[in-house]
């Protein structure tokens, strides 16, 4: 039920899910037609499944706690997007809400249709306040369904994924509150005024 991160990094897929291609090849009594073989693999998020791979610099897993998942996500989303933008690399960054960072377990985010729609709008508004301003194509908001072990969809349970394309700028990006973050192997770091000056000087030397 897991898609290895090492393979996902190469093929740009979700790092966890159910690979139907292997299931069809091994268990069904018919052959795939060429069009079926060439089509993308179907990947599913399976509730309570656990990743074998750990987080790494460009992938963050976050569990949503509390009774207001929308506010919980909004409180961090621009910080992580800014941190990835300030990474100043050619790597895409991704944040997954609904996967625990300690156990790497799929637990999902409880949101109904109206809440999911509201979350998309509010995330877009929050990211639109990042300075310097960003083109909308730099980030993408994906809401993925979560399934049980019988591959039945679990109502109102989803994974929220924010992907950030590399977008280099001579300036450091800041959140709507004027805070500057950079990505670290352990998460993200808010720069102090001194660290901000040091980071700018370092980049000018490079």
User: Does residue 116 lie within any of the structural domains?
Assistant: yes
For 11-17, the CB contacts below 8 A with 24+ separation are 13/41, 13/43, 14/43, 14/45, 14/144, 14/161, 15/51, 15/53, 15/59, 15/96, 16/45, 16/46, 16/49, 16/51, 16/99, 16/106, 17/43, 17/44, 17/45, 17/46
Query: Each residue of 102-117: pLDDT tens digit?
Result: 899 999 999 999 999 9
Q: What is the pTM of this model?
A: 0.77
Cα 160 to Cα 52, 53, 178: the distances in Å are 20, 19, 25
Distance CA(11)–CA(23), nearest Å, equals 19
Q: What is the CATH number of the domain that holds 163?
A: 3.30.950
Query: Residue 185 and residue 159: Cα distance in Å, rounded?
Result: 23
Q: Report how many domains make up the chain.
A: 1
Q: Which domain holds residue 109?
A: 47-205
Please report whether residue 196 resides in a domain: yes
3 found inside a domain: no
Tell me how many helices (H) and strands (E) the chain has.
6, 8
Residue 90 covered by a domain: yes
Give the per-residue pLDDT at 191: 94
Query: Over the stretch 61-101, which tens digit does the pLDDT of each residue have?
Result: 999 988 899 999 999 999 999 999 998 778 899 999 999 98
**Average pLDDT score, the chain:** 81
Whether residue 194 is contained in a domain is answered as yes
Cβ 175 vs Cβ 78: under 8 Å: yes
133-155 pLDDT per residue, tens: 988 899 999 999 999 999 999 99
The first and second tokens of residue 5, run together, are 């991160």
User: 73 in a domain, yes or no?
Assistant: yes
Task: For residue 108, count CB atoms less than 10 angstroms from its CB and return exposed for 0-12, middle for 13-18, buried for 19 or more.
Answer: buried
Question: Does some domain include residue 12?
Answer: no
Asked whether residue 35 is assigned to any structural domain, the reply reads: no
């Amino acid at each position: 039920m897991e898609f290895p991160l090492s393979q996902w990094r190469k093929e740009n897929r979700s790092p966890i899910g159910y690979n139907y291609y292997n299931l069809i090849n091994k268990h069904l009594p018919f052959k795939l037609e060429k069009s079926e073989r060439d089509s993308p693999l179907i990947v599913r998020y399976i509730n309570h499944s656990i990743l074998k791979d750990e987080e790494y610099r460009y992938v963050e897993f976050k569990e949503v706690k509390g009774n207001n998942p929308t506010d919980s996500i909004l409180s961090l989303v621009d910080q992580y997007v800014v941190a990835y933008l300030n990474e100043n690399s050619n790597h895409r960054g991704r944040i997954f809400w609904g996967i625990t960072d300690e156990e790497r377990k799929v637990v999902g985010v409880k949101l109904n249709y109206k809440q999911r729609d509201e979350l998309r709008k509010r995330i877009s508004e929050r990211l639109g306040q990042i300075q310097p301003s960003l083109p909308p194509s730099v980030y993408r908001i994906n809401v993925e369904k979560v399934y049980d072990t019988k591959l039945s969809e679990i109502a109102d349970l989803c994974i929220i994924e924010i992907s950030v394309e590399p977008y280099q700028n001579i300036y450091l990006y800041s959140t709507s509150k004027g805070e500057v973050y950079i990505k670290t192997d352990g998460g993200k770091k808010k720069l102090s005024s001194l660290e901000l000056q040091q980071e700018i000087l370092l980049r000018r030397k490079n």
